[in-house]
Every structure is written in structure tokens, then in C-alpha cells.
């Protein structure tokens, strides 16, 4: 009788330790999502700021400046629900403005243009990487949260179900060639 109680107690402790380890892992994944989201937000803000700065520099033709400025401004001011759409529109505006490789040559020819072109190319290149890191963390947390043990024992607590950040982040080819 005593041996049976000891084995039951050992099994309960082992299950408790396993559930505690799983809850800790889930908590670390949620922290990783928060950090990745902050990094993604920083990269998106940097891209919009550089695009807005370039649009107001007077180097681009007026139509391209207006298109780029409005898209960058909308991306910076977008509410959370509209952020993915606004960032996708900024990506489309960047591709439209830099569809002509001559546009980038004009920027580089202007005083300080080489640095501005380099900064924009780096900002545009980093956004897909930051989004990929964020979405990978979300994917891992979702996979763990789908397990029955996590749902049954409510190991996720009151944390919201993580959502991926889906946007069009394809950079203009002229800027990609510049970044390489």
C-alpha cells in the first residue's frame, strides 16, 4: 500500500514537473514573440522613416516623392489593425518608385545620396528578415499551444493567441542589387 502511494506521488511530481517545464517553454516562446515583434516594429519604422526622409529630400521627381511620402506616412501612422495593409502599400510604393533603376542613380548622384541609398537598401533588406524571425516564433508558439496538454491544463494562461505578421515585403530589385 505504501509503495503504491509512493509511486503515485512520484508520478504526480513527474507530471507536475513536465507541465511546469512546458509552461516555462511556452512563456519563453511568448517572450521571444514579444522581442521579435519589437524588432520588427523597429525595422518597419526605420524603413518608413528612411523612405519619408528620401521623399522629402527633393532628389526624387515630384510624383514619386508624393507617392513615397504618402505611403511612408500612412505606414508610420497606421493603427494596429491596418498596419499590415499600410506596410504592404509602402512596399508597393517602393517597388513603383524604384522600378526604374535610373531613379536610384539620380539619388546616388545627389549630395549625400550614396548614404541615403545605402540606408534605404539596408532598411528594405532587414524588414523581411525581422518578419521571418517574428513569424517563426509565432509558428513555434502556435504549435505548442495546439497540444492537448497545453489546452487542458491552460498552460498558456490568459496570453492571446499569437498572430503572424503578414505583409508584402518584397523589396525593389534595384535596391536589392544595391544592398548586395
SS3 content of the chain, % helix, strand, coil (to 5): 80, 0, 20
Is 154's pLDDT higher than 70? yes
Whole-model pTM over 0.85 = yes
Convert the pLDDT of each residue in 41-71 to its tens digit.
Answer: 999 999 999 999 999 998 888 999 999 999 9
* pLDDT at 67 (0 to 100): 95
Is 108's pLDDT higher than 60? yes
Convert the pLDDT of each residue in 9-35 to its tens digit.
Answer: 999 999 999 999 999 999 999 999 999
Query: What pLDDT band is residue 91 in, cutting at 50, 70 and 90?
Result: very high
* pLDDT at 29 (0 to 100): 96
Between residues 116 and 42, the one the model is more confident about = 42
* pLDDT at 54 (0 to 100): 93
* pLDDT at 179 (0 to 100): 52
Neighbour-count burial for 80-109, b at 16+ CB within 10 Å, e otherwise? eeebbebbbbbbebbbebbeeeebbeebbe
Convert the pLDDT of each residue in 157-172 to its tens digit.
Answer: 888 999 999 999 999 9
Average pLDDT, the chain: 92
> In whole angstroms, how far apart are CA 50 and each of 41, 46, 55, 95, 107?
14, 6, 9, 15, 13
* pLDDT at 103 (0 to 100): 85
Query: What pLDDT band is residue 178 in, cutting at 50, 70 and 90?
Result: low
Amino acid at each position: 500500500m505504501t509503495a503504491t502511494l509512493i509511486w503515485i506521488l512520484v508520478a504526480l511530481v513527474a507530471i507536475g514537473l513536465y507541465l511546469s517545464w512546458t509552461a516555462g517553454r511556452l512563456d519563453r516562446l511568448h517572450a521571444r514573440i514579444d522581442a521579435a515583434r519589437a524588432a520588427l516594429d523597429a525595422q518597419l519604422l526605420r524603413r518608413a522613416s528612411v523612405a519619408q526622409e528620401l521623399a522629402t529630400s527633393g532628389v526624387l521627381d515630384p510624383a514619386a516623392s508624393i507617392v513615397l511620402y504618402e505611403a511612408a506616412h500612412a505606414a508610420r501612422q497606421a493603427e494596429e489593425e491596418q498596419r499590415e495593409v499600410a506596410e504592404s502599400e509602402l512596399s508597393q510604393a517602393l517597388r513603383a518608385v524604384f522600378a526604374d533603376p535610373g531613379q536610384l542613380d539620380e539619388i546616388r548622384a545627389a549630395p549625400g545620396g550614396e548614404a541615403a541609398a545605402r540606408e534605404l537598401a539596408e532598411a528594405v533588406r532587414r524588414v523581411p528578415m525581422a518578419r521571418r524571425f517574428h513569424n517563426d516564433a509565432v509558428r513555434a508558439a502556435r504549435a505548442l499551444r495546439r497540444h492537448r496538454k497545453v489546452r487542458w491544463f491552460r498552460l498558456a494562461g490568459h496570453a492571446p493567441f499569437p498572430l503572424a505578421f503578414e505583409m508584402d515585403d518584397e523589396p525593389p530589385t534595384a535596391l536589392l542589387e544595391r544592398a548586395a
